[in-house]
Amino acid sequence: MTSARSAPHILTLVALSGIAALSMNIFLPSLPGMAQYFGVDYAVMQLSVSAYIGATAVLQLVAGPISDRFGRRPVVLGGLVIFLLATVGTLLAPTAGTFLFFRLIQSAISVCIMVPRAVIRDQYDGAEAASMIGYVTMGMSVVPMIAPVIGGFLDEAFGWQANFAMMGGIGFLVLVIAWWNMGETVRYGGLSMRQQMVNYPLLARSVRFWGYCAAATLSSGCFFAYLGGAPFVGQHVFHMTPAEVGYYFMAPSIGYLIGNFLSARFTRTLGLNQMILAGATLCATALFIALIFDVMGIVSPWIFFGAIAVMGMGNGLVLPNANAGMMNVRPELAGTASGLGGALAVAGGAILSALAGVFLTPGSGATPLLIIMCCSALGSLLAITWVFRRERQLSMGD
């Protein structure tokens, strides 16, 4: 058995991030059918995405400081156990309300997104940390690439419950791996809550921290809006089956995989900020082109999902570097910074995902979703421009 004081293998971090991604999107092709099963509107069932994202935000806000105090290992193991129990609840739920209750508890798995980033920052600095985060998220990105495809086929073959049964089985396997290999990387027993409170103002007053947070939040917001609206667009605009929706859901994951590879490969050479700027520019450009085509009446899944793939690549450049940037501000508060940054990202995502569910109505087409994503991408671009401007002012002694 691996020592509790040894660092986990990078594949363990990939597995932890992967199960968190799996729980987010494997069942998305089933959402329209689940609404029919429970006898509720699509907007109600879409809360299993937007409300889940909101719960994830709150949890990461709390779990980050706890992991800085008590360590990464207990936070991960606890989150996995709660997730497994909640998954059983979703399978046995007799009503939509009961299902949504247990779905919210499933958000405990979100600690497996936050903790691997903090583990990497415990061991690496600056651009090297961003590079390692890129490798972890590159491996993780394979999961959302294939999960909706598998979810669509499982739905058609066995019903939506098969997706949650698969979540439970894989979650148990990851729990076993984490118990065996998830060593502790927090040094000297972690910072006490009192010590963390003393350091919070230093983190909160950093322009760089908030700039990186805004860039990450608004860039990932494009993807969260897509999660909330794409199943509707696939069914009502492009008239796809659940399996076909799952197939096209590979688009952002393929782009994200490529972006993560580029981050891992070139961040050490080009730097954090340049990679974030390039990614934010890609996101905004691709989505605005897709919106122009849509407004002109040129509606095609190849245009829509092609733009989404490029958006995914942009996110793959932005997120590893922005996450590393925000944790570099106060390295001793890596868990807190990762949790706060993650909380802001998913809170913004919850809002955008909910907006997508509200504005996408029969006859609306994909236009409302594209407008929401374009605005979010533009905000990310402005955020990293703000960081560049602030750093230039500091270098000039302003």
Question: Contact, 312 vs 144, CB < 8 A?
Answer: no
Does the residue 287 lie in any domain? yes
Does the residue 3 lie in any domain? no
Say which range, 23-37, 77-91, 224-238, 322-336, has the weakest mean pLDDT: 322-336
pLDDT for the residue 282: 94
- Range from 77-91, 132-146, 254-268, 375-389 that averages highest in pLDDT: 77-91
Is this model's pTM higher than 0.75 or not? no
Calpha distance 69→183 (Å, rounded): 15
Range of the domain at 51: 10-184+195-395
Does the residue 35 lie in any domain? yes
Mean pLDDT (the chain, rounded)? 82
Which has the closest alpha carbon to 267: 114, 137, 122?
137
Does the residue 266 lie in any domain? yes
Which has the closest alpha carbon to 320: 163, 139, 162, 117?
117
What confidence category does residue 247 fall into, taking pLDDT thresholds of 50, 70 and 90? confident
Does the residue 2 lie in any domain? no
What confidence category does residue 194 fall into, taking pLDDT thresholds of 50, 70 and 90? low
Calpha distance 220→13 (Å, rounded): 20
pLDDT digits (tens, 9 = 90+) for 282-297: 999 999 999 999 888 8
Q: How far apart are the first and last CA of the chain?
A: 54
Does the residue 4 lie in any domain? no
Question: Contact, 87 vs 166, CB < 8 A?
Answer: no
What confidence category does residue 355 fall into, taking pLDDT thresholds of 50, 70 and 90? confident
pLDDT for the residue 398: 47
What confidence category does residue 307 fall into, taking pLDDT thresholds of 50, 70 and 90? very high
Calpha distance 214→53 (Å, rounded): 17
Question: Contact, 349 vs 221, CB < 8 A?
Answer: yes
Calpha distance 167→120 (Å, rounded): 26
Q: What is the DSSP letter of 330?
A: S
Angle at 292 between CA 286 and CA 298, to 5 degrees: 105
Does the residue 378 lie in any domain? yes
Question: Contact, 218 vs 383, CB < 8 A?
Answer: yes
Helices and strands (H, E) in the chain, number of each type: 18, 0
Does the residue 1 lie in any domain? no
Residue owning tokens 């040129």: 298
What DSSP string runs through 68-123? HHH-HHHHHHHHHHHHHHHHHHHHH--SHHHHHHHHHHGGGGGHHHHHHHHHHHHH
Calpha distance 138→143 (Å, rounded): 10
Calpha distance 115→337 (Å, rounded): 11
Number of domains in the chain: 1
CATH of the domain at 266: 1.20.1250.20
